[in-house]
Structure 1
Amino acid sequence: MTGTRRNSRRLPPPISVGADGSSLSRLDVAALYQRTRRRRAAPYRRADIFARWGGACCYCDAPAEHLDHVQPLSRGGRDVLSNVVPACATCNLAKAALTLAEWIADYEAPRNP
């Protein structure tokens, strides 16, 4: 095969915006949306959660550096005080987007060498 390889993904056509025929690409519209979307403040304070748990990871008692959603946001969990716990980096990154039950089952599963 000769020639250069072309990217198979093509950008969508521009969106007409004004009466004068001006247009924006879909990427420009997405960038505008990201800038105008407001993020709500969390209904809890990070310091309060660490203080409530004594600065320890809720899973292994190591010093906590992260906050973890017990029921992940991507799995329908809510960003509320009762769903947020302190976690060490190792536990938080290992748990990722798993539910607590899935993570424990995976943790206790026998490993094949």
Structure 2
Amino acid sequence: MIIGVGIDVAEIDRFGAALARTPGMAQRLFVESELLLPSGERRGTASLAARFAAKEALAKALGAPAGMLWTDAEVYVEESGQPRVRVQGTVQARAVALGVKSFHLSLSHDAGVASAVVIAEA
């Protein structure tokens, strides 16, 4: 059974400008593994914008309650290339309260826009 669906888009250039002008914003939004590629290089703006859109979509799928922490959700990619979301703390508590057992995530970025869809399933 589907508990919730969320979708979000982020303009890549606008998101990049916000990161550049707001010191510390990246650390408030992302865990370290989201900021860095496996090689240790910093992840590109398009990828970060897609991860931000995923977190917004996740919040919408969970009913967008107040008090959830951005860093309590981690977007990662499996070896197969499938994007996934891992939750803990405040986000996990909300998911448990709603009866969510799994999340499905799709990410995309093209033509200056990053997008994400999250389905929360019982």
Normalising by structure 1, report the TM-score: 0.26
Looking at CA atoms only, which structure, 1 or 2, has the larger radius of gyration? 1
Query: Structure 1 or 2: larger helix share?
Result: 2
Query: Structure 1 or 2: larger strand share?
Result: 2
